[in-house]
Amino acid sequence: QVQLVESGGGLVQAGGSLRLSCAASGRTTDIAAMAWFRRAPGKEREFVASITWGGSTKYQSDSVKGRFTISGDNAKNMIFLQMNSLKPEDTAAYYCAAGFMRGAITWSTWGQGAQVTVSS
């Protein structure tokens, strides 16, 4: 099994920056990719960005492209989300997810979440 722990959330003013971290432990060799999702109050969970475990392929949602950057450090079993030019609409709980290859990538392990609040 894999366990995930996020850190780095907080309160920031619009236009500011935050960096989220996610540490993976356990059977990390089973991981195919890692991702960040977010859920704002009253909204569905939304994909933010993903990176293959090894870091060669990255995807981002259009809503964060050019502002957020996903990166990874396989030696430390960690991924990061650098969030710049934050907007109030980025306010959400951010979740780290581990993906496993089961035909297609299945996001089946989740962290506890890190709250990001952007004030206007």
Least confident of 51-65, 68-82, 87-101: 51-65
Q: What is the pLDDT of residues 20-43, one digit of tens each?
A: 999 999 999 999 999 999 999 999
Mean pLDDT for 68-82 is 95
Strand partners, 57: none
Chain-centroid distance of CA 66 in Å reads 15
pLDDT of residue 103: 85
Mean pLDDT for 69-94 is 96
Is it the case that residue 84 has pLDDT exceeding 80?
yes
